[in-house]
Amino acid sequence: MSESSGAFATTALSGYELLADPQLNKGTAFSGAEREAFDLHGLLPPNILTLDEQVSRRLEALRGFETDIERYAFLRELQDTNETLFYALLVGNLEELLPIVYTPTVGEGCQKFSRLFRKPRGLFLSIPHQHRIDRIFAHPRFDHVEAIVVTDGERILGLGDQGAGGMGIPIGKLALYTGCGGLHPATTLPIMLDVGTDNPDCLADPLYVGWRNERVRGQAYDEFIEAFVAAVVKRWPRVLLQWEDFAKNNATRMLERYRDRLLTFNDDIQGTAAVATGALLSAINVTGVPLTEQRVAVLGAGSAGCGIASLIRAAMVDAGLPESEAAKRFFMVDRDGLLLEGMSGLAPFQLPFVQDRQAIAGWQLSHPDKIALLDVVRNARPTVLIGVSGQAGAFSEPIVRAMAECNKRPVIFPLSNPTSREEATPVDIEAWTEGRALIGVGSPFPPIMRDGARFKVDQTNNSYIFPGVGVGALAVGASRVSDGMFMAAAKALASVSPARNNPKHNLLPPVSALREVSQTVALAVALQAHKEGLARDVPIDQVEARIHAKVWTPRYVPYRRSDRA
């Protein structure tokens, strides 16, 4: 590891060892003096390139591949070879590379993780090695860790249990923490909690790299999670811990159990909620329907769906609607239909959003034993339709047309990832609503034709939220991540909506502006933390400077040789 003075860095590594370190390797960009000092002559071709020239070469090679999974593998290998070059490539080409580094391609990357595995990145913590967690964390290479993204691989996007392959998600998320938020890659750590898998394809695959065991549940699972969190708090008392892609039965209860013990949040629950709320607040500028008059139907009443409903409900209350009235404006639809009072098997986080049976007594239903989404749209006449179900095509033509019949400008957000799991495609929604819908999708889609011109569809993705939340919280040393901080993030996102100035423009800024958006979100989150008394000893007049100090720009600095190992 190098020590940096800002103007230069020092390292004791040389030769192949220096070239093998992805945080220090410059490849063909090592200067002549550095090649002399670090014994690199002969190990590199003689021509010395700049970082910009390297980016151009890698971009040309990337575009030469035929499939996105090949591009994904290429970028992962580059990340493990030369992190500065990888991030320079990513930051300069966010719109092109985000769908490869993250959704939708990361889903296939998780499915093929065992076959794509080349070099270790992050930590794989398995139940058989639970007693070794403290020792694993203790290595000096982890001294500078500030942000951890962790998964147990059980609910990867809309693809289900991917076992150890789920590690692709923490790696991808942390790439966005650096590429979009600016965190230095040396301060980030992806972690896979390998508790086994119930995916029969993984268990039967002779090349599977994970712990070949059925997924552990119950008390043994909880004890493993507790051991992990305790070790994290002991090693890094002020670290940011982000939970990713845990099954709904674990996601909410883990968040509630640990949210006051360390700086932590669940991106599937809270990040998804913030980007959906921000997009809806932006849509109000176009539809003219006040937040207090919105009626929201959500397909997928799991932790993500109820997280979205919770934050939008809070925004409604913020806007002046009584809390009891706000709760009635949500229609949560799951596999058993509309959630109703008295239903068996409801999770605690679903209870605030059950509908009173008397309120629907006069509804005309196609199937009296189960109130389907189409029944909800026809009877409740929602202004907003959100999908987090992972069910491709669930927003059928009759459902979308029913939304268009009861709304001049229906708001329709099929947010499931990856692309293959979206509830409807933008092209279909555009056709079925005669071009009147405000569309937000979870993964990138090609532009649609609107008013005779190509129109980019808003990618209502968590990448607009979580990098800024993390940077803002870390910049002020926040003691916890509050619901108010996510509300601040949602409002900050809405504040930079292009539709604020022109209703024909997009609800969200372009993906290419994610670095700037993350800074806006980070500032709002940090100020909210300060307002709530959660910031540790950071004067309010220093907040913005603290955020800017967190932003790392990928560039090469000169190296000097150190005698210390």
Q: Where are the alpha helices (DSSP H) in 461-541?
A: 466-475, 483-495, 514-531
Residue type, 469: V
Q: Which of 117, 114, 119 is nearest to 83 (CA)?
A: 119
Q: Let me know if 87 is a catalytic residue.
A: no
* Largest Cα span, the chain: 83
Q: How far does Cα 88 stand from its chain's mean position? A: 20
Is residue 245 annotated as involved in ligand binding?
yes
Q: Which of 26, 72, 87, 102 is catalytic?
A: 102
Contacts of 27 (CB under 8 A, 6+ apart): 19, 44, 49, 54, 81, 82, 85
Note whether 353 and 301 are within 8 A (CB).
yes
Q: Which of 198, 303, 190, 215 is nearest to 251 (CA)?
A: 303
Q: Which of 310, 314, 299 is nearest to 348 (CA)?
A: 310
Helix, coil or strand: residue 263? strand
Q: How many CB atoms lie within 10 A of CB 140?
A: 7
| Pairing of the two strands 9-11 and 559-561 | parallel
Is residue 417 annotated as involved in ligand binding?
yes
d(CA 217, CA 193): 13
Note whether 485 and 272 are within 8 A (CB).
no
d(CA 273, CA 163): 26
d(CA 424, CA 412): 9
Q: Where are the alpha helices (DSSP H) in 319-354?
A: 323-327
Is residue 244 annotated as involved in ligand binding?
yes
Q: Which of 155, 126, 349, 350 is nearest to 246 (CA)?
A: 155
Residue 448 tokens, joined: 């649609």
CA angle 219, 145, 84 (to 5 degrees): 130
Is residue 461 annotated as involved in ligand binding?
yes
Q: Which of 173, 248, 491, 550 is catalytic?
A: 173
Q: Which of left, alpha, beta for 373 (phi over 0: left; psi -120 to 50: alpha)?
A: alpha
Q: Let me know if 173 is a catalytic residue.
A: yes
Is residue 268 annotated as involved in ligand binding?
yes
Contacts of 104 (CB under 8 A, 6+ apart): 417, 418, 419, 420, 443, 444
Q: How far does Cα 3 stand from its chain's mean position? A: 31
| Pairing of the two strands 458-459 and 448-450 | unpaired
Strand partners, 220: none
d(CA 222, CA 229): 11
Contacts of 534 (CB under 8 A, 6+ apart): 476, 478, 479, 480, 482, 485
Residue ranges of the annotated binding site for a divalent metal cation are 244-245, 268
Annotated binding residues, written as ranges, equal 155, 244-245, 268, 417, 461
* Annotation: binding site for (S)-malate: 155, 417, 461
Q: Which residues are catalytic?
A: 102, 173
